[in-house]
Amino acid sequence: MNRTAMFVMRMAGLGVVAATIAGSPAWAINNRDAETSPATITLRVYDYAQVNHPALVAAEREASRILAQAGVTTQWQDCSTSHDAKKDFRVCAAAQPDDYIVSILPNSMADKLGKSGDTFGAADGGESRRAAIFYERISERAGGDTTAVDVLAGRVMAREIGSLLLGANASSRTGIMKARWTSSDLNVLAGNEMYFTAEQARQMDTRLVQEARTRQAETQNKVATNDR
């Protein structure tokens, strides 16, 4: 089975978001070197679309900025989509089961998921913890404008990551988790309309704290077992 077919099988049935774009907010500091805390998540990025790396980092910065508003710190790890190159990405080989996966897809892969043409991303909040970003669709919608593409890609990333953290009831009537974005929502002056709500921030914090406690308990149990 080829790479595309395997990916499509994993991602089939994901929830989706449709959006339009206009404008760009201010840049944020990249959180690649953030210290681990209960509200820190590790995101493994698989770039099937072969995006220009500075552009991908810019999109990650925008996603980090939005998630930081909700109290979530992000750590991004570039991972190889090629089996032959995996030895150059050893950090991904040692990935933890509670890492989140963000796959950047070209049209050839996004189309196979059967999502409508105005859908820019998808997320699976189950055990796989996978989100997909339809990068070429985003670029086409933004007319190739570099800044607009970076901003929209980052906002789609933030929304789909939010979907993973919030689960089945992620959609809301306001904010970045609205079922469908409008051009007004995405305008540079949209401000708080493209952030998570206070309740969503609280839910994400609760989940991440619980996950941290679970990991700590599992570690303590292993230590206790080895000491017997």
Tell me the longest C-alpha to C-alpha distance in the chain: 63
pLDDT band, residue 13 (cuts 50/70/90): very low
pLDDT band, residue 228 (cuts 50/70/90): low
Q: Give the other-Cβ count within 10 Å of 56's Cβ.
A: 23
Full domain range(s) for residue 25: 3-227
Q: Please report the pLDDT score of residue 49 as a whole number.
A: 95
Could you tell me which of 147, 152, 159 has the C-alpha nearest to residue 137? 152
Taking the model in full, what pTM does it have? 0.77
Domains held by the chain: number: 1
Which residues are registered as beta bridge partners of 102?
Answer: 45, 131
Higher-pLDDT residue of 178, 7: 178
Tens-place pLDDT, residues 142-160: 887 888 889 899 999 999 9
**What sign has the CA pseudo-torsion 97, 63, 83, 5?**
positive
Q: Please report the pLDDT score of residue 95 as a whole number.
A: 58
Least confident range from 113-117, 148-152, 189-193: namely 189-193
Least confident range from 3-7, 45-49, 156-160, 175-179: namely 3-7
Decide: 38 and 209 in contact? Cβ < 8 Å.
yes
Q: Which residue has the tokens 């990991």?
A: 215
Please report, for the domain that includes residue 65, its CATH number: 3.40.390
> Cα–chain-centroid distance for residue 90?
21
Q: Please report the pLDDT score of residue 129 as a whole number.
A: 86
What are the structure tokens assigned to 117, written together? Answer: 């043409």
Q: Please report the pLDDT score of residue 18 as a whole number.
A: 43
Q: Which helix (H) or strand (E) holds 174?
A: none
Q: Please report the pLDDT score of residue 5 as a whole number.
A: 44
pLDDT band, residue 14 (cuts 50/70/90): very low
